[in-house]
Amino acid sequence: MTKREIADILNEIAMLLELKGENPFKIRAYSNGARTLETLEESLDDLIREGTLGDVQGFGKALVDKIETLYQTGTLEFYENLKDSVEPGIVSMLEIPGLGAKKIKILHETLGVSSIEELQKACEEEKVAGLKGFGKKSQDKIAEGIKNREAYGKRHLWWRAREVAEPILEGLLALPEVEKASHAGSFRRKREHVGDLDFIVASSRPERIMEWFVAQDQVREVTAKGETKASVRFESGLQADLRVVPLKQFNFALHHFTGSKDHNVLMRQRALSRGLSLSEWGLKPVEAESFEESSLDAKSEADIFNLLDLKFVPPELREGRGEIEAAGSDGFPELIEPSAIKGVFHNHTTASDGRSSLEEMTASAQALRWEYWGVADHSKASFQANGLDEDRLLQQLERIRELNASGEFTTYIFSGNECDILPDGSLDLDEELLMKLDYVVSSVHSSFSQSESEMTRRIVKAIENPATTMLGHLTGRLLLRREAYQVDTQKVVDAALANDVVIELNANPYRLDMDWRLWRNAAEKGLLTSINPDAHAPEHFEFVEAGVYAARKGWLTAESVINTRSLQEVKAILSRKRPHLAD
DNA sequence: GCCGTTTTCGGCCCGACTGTTTTCAGTCG
């Protein structure tokens, strides 16, 4: 078992002990143990072999025994027994906002409820309001929490969350009491989906800011409101948290609440190794009494990094995936910016399942001042999407040539096709015809349930097809909607490298596929990408922005992204497979 | 359950907010 797996079990033990009403300090010992284990620098194997696990602060005899047993055998009797002694329905009640172990224990012992369903019934029968420590409000809140637990628990696509987040930030910045304001959290790190929104504000007069925040039009429920902290929930179930801090604290709070947790742990370790203590309150010498009196100054977030001998880490990279090491040595490559995009591939028109014509899409691309854009309508196997057969594709190719020759648009149109990869790995259209186009995006749209080895063989075969220019949406995932199909991404990346094939970064906010976690490594090996909006209407061209943020999270520079290149450079790249594009 | 002694027990912690209290316990990040 790995450190992380063992830490998860220690956390679960803490939760179960809490539900059993154990000594709170014992519970904390387990949670602390889990956190210590997660952030342990030494290898667990070494510590156990040398018998020095007990030297680690926070690990006494009981924890050492349990960690060693889990490490060596993968099971722990104490844990299994504990799990058996608590009904699973009770554990799931922890998901309801406002309910913790203590209240659940009261509900269980006095009303005998052992599941969310039974609790819901107890609320309907007004049995909860009469309990000691509960009241009408608690009962209503529990009932509401049960009713909405699906929406409350769910995550929200970054793209959708932004529609809510941006007006809030603008509103905050417009208030005269606000000195500084920013979003924080996973939203600021541009994660593909977020659990909630965080806002940090600097002000010495928080009252009116709090009032404004909870009184916003779209707010459905105010879940907390105090002097410096408030939480609201919107119709979609998305929650937003606001924290107001003094200006002096702003950058520390912003850094802290931007996270990620893993990044913060590494930052605090870095600080400690320099005799400093870092928190949301400030950065002070370890021995100093309070942050308020002894914190160093940070006029910007960059100052915090600089005080720890680090280069500034862009929020997108703060995932605890090597950014501290890089910031402590050479720093980062210059990450791609949205403004670097000069055109896009993989778009649809009314010829297949798009909503706008070739001409309308071209006009929109031109309005965005793109040098070029590419048409890649579906091929005939995508019958549901009105995919093109050979004849219709040839007609479209003719029309594109006419338009390019006419001078009607300054934006150049590349002719392409999003060609289905059939279940056996062959392409849906004739190779000779595909070679007449400027490029081909090969994508899987059927037989998603193939085994990993079949799917991998299928995609690799398509990559090896000389007609393939780029691979579309590698895993077929739809974020929060549909799982990825099984495929060995490493083999696919290697095949793409070996066959001069680009792997797209599909910028549709539901896809963002291939995933950002895979890009740093792939790009280091030399893999190129194209950030493709997969547009089915002009407004979908905006998706490239989401794609650029995903690319930044993958440490990508403009060099790795072919659609940051000029028209001439793109033609040169495409001509490696299509000689007719060479000048 | 851990830690550190005034060394084998007694203290341990983090602040803000809510709801049910009437001075505070429970939840949450």
Pairing of strands A412-420, A372-375: parallel
How many angstroms separate the CA atoms of A507 and A257, rounded? 27
Mean pLDDT of A123-150: 88
Distance, CA of A21 to C1' of B22, in Å: 27
pLDDT confidence of residue A276: 87
Q: Start-end ranges of CATH 3.30.210.10 in chain A?
A: 257-328
Instruction: Report the distance from CA of residue A17 to the C1' of nucleotide B5 in Å, as an integer.
Output: 29
Residues 152-191 on chain A lying near strand B, CB distance under 7 A? none
| pLDDT value, residue A94 | 86
| Ranges of CATH 3.30.460.10 domains, chain A | 156-245
**Residue A367: pLDDT band with limits 50, 70, 90:** very high
Protein-covered nucleotides of chain B (CB closer than 7 Å) are: 1-4, 11-12, 16-21, 25-29
In chain A, ranges of CATH 3.20.20.140 domains: 338-581
Distances in Å between the Cα of A60 and the Cα atoms of A14, A16, A18, A22, A33 are: 16, 20, 20, 18, 9
Q: Do residues A194 and A236 lie in contact, with contact meaning Cβ atoms separated by under 8 Å? A: no
Top-ranked range on mean pLDDT: pick from A7-16, A142-151, A511-520: A511-520
SS3 call for A230: strand
**Residue range A446-469, pLDDT digits in tens:** 999 899 999 999 999 999 999 999
The answer to whether residues A168 and A199 touch, using CB atoms and an 8 Å cutoff, is yes
> What is the Cα–Cα distance from A444 to A126, expressed in whole angstroms?
54
Task: Answer yes or no: are the C-beta atoms of A530 and A505 closer than 8 Å.
Answer: yes
Fold (topology level) of A338-581 = TIM Barrel (3.20.20)
> How many Cα atoms are found within 13 Å in the side-chain-facing hemisphere of A13?
27
Cβ-Cβ contacts under 8 Å for A31 (sequence gap 6 or more): A10, A11, A14
- Beta strands A156-157; A193-194: pairing state: antiparallel
How large is the C-alpha radius of gyration of chain A?
A: 28
Own/partner pairs for A111-119, CB < 8 Å, 24+ apart? A114/A87, A114/A89, A114/A90, A115/A87, A115/A89, A115/A90, A116/A89, A116/A92, A116/A146, A116/A149, A117/A89, A118/A89, A119/A93, A119/A146
- Is residue A150 scored above 80 in pLDDT? no
Q: What pLDDT sits at residue A303?
A: 95
Those residues whose C-beta lies under 8 Å from the C-beta of residue A130, and which sit 6 or more positions away, are: none
What is residue A549's predicted lDDT score, i.e. its pLDDT? 98
User: Cβ of residue A97 near strand B, that is under 7 Å?
Assistant: yes
- Which residue's C-alpha is at the least distance from the C1' of B16? A229
Instruction: Report pLDDT digits (tens) over A465-478.
Output: 999 999 999 999 99
DSSP for A364-393, written as a single string? HHHHTT-SEEEE-PBBTT-GGGT-B-HHHH
* CA torsion, ordered A164, A166, A170, A172, to nearest 10 deg: 60
Contact A79, A13 (CB under 8 A): yes
Q: How is residue A6 written in tokens?
A: 């063992």
Say which CATH topology domain A257-328 has: Beta Polymerase; domain 3 (3.30.210)
Q: Where in chain A is the domain with CATH 1.10.150.20?
A: 89-153
> Are the C-beta atoms of residues A469 and A416 closer than 8 Å to each other?
yes
Q: Is the pLDDT of residue A13 over 80?
A: yes
Looking at the domain A3-86, which fold is it? DNA polymerase; domain 1 (1.10.150)
Confidence tier at A266 by pLDDT (50, 70, 90): confident
Residue-level pLDDT at A56: 86
Tell me A414's DSSP state. Answer: E
Check: CB of residue A550 under 8 Å from CB of residue A560: no
Measure A129 CA to B19 C1' (Å). Answer: 12
Residue A315 has pLDDT above 90, yes or no: yes
**Could you report the per-residue pLDDT of A83-110, keeping only the tens digit for each?**
888 888 888 888 888 888 889 988 998 9
Q: Which two tokens stand for residue A49?
A: 């072999």
Question: Across the strands, what pairs with A197?
Answer: A240
For A98, the token pair is 């406002």
pTM assigned to the model: 0.87
Q: Is there contact between A130 and strand B, defined as CB under 7 Å from any strand atom?
A: no
Domain limits, CATH 1.10.150.110, in chain A: 3-86
Contacts of residues A90-96 at CB distance under 8 Å and 24 or more positions apart, as own/partner, are: A90/A19, A90/A114, A90/A115, A91/A15, A91/A16, A91/A19, A92/A116, A93/A119, A94/A15, A94/A19, A95/A149, A95/A153, A96/A142, A96/A145, A96/A146, A96/A149
pLDDT tens figures, A25-41: 888 889 888 878 877 77
Alpha carbons A560 and A518: distance in angstroms, whole number: 13
pLDDT at A523 over 90: yes
Q: Which two tokens stand for residue A23?
A: 């000594």
Q: CATH number of the domain at A89-153, out of 1.10.132.20, 1.10.150.20, 3.60.10.10, 3.40.50.150?
A: 1.10.150.20
Distance in angstroms, CA of A240 to C1' of B21? 29
Integer distance in angstroms from CA A263 to C1' B10?
36
Is the CB of residue A82 inside 7 Å of nucleic acid strand B? no
A334-364 per-position pLDDT tens digit? 999 999 999 999 999 999 999 999 999 999 9
Which pLDDT score, from 0 to 100, does residue A63 have? 92
The domain A156-245 belongs to what CATH superfamily?
Beta Polymerase, domain 2 (3.30.460.10)
Asked if strand B comes closer than 7 Å to A30 Cβ, the answer is: yes
Question: Which tokens hold the place of A322?
Answer: 């090597």
Q: Contact, A11 vs A30, CB < 8 A?
A: yes
Q: Which helix (H) or strand (E) holds A336?
A: none
Q: Which tokens go with A213?
A: 């925040």
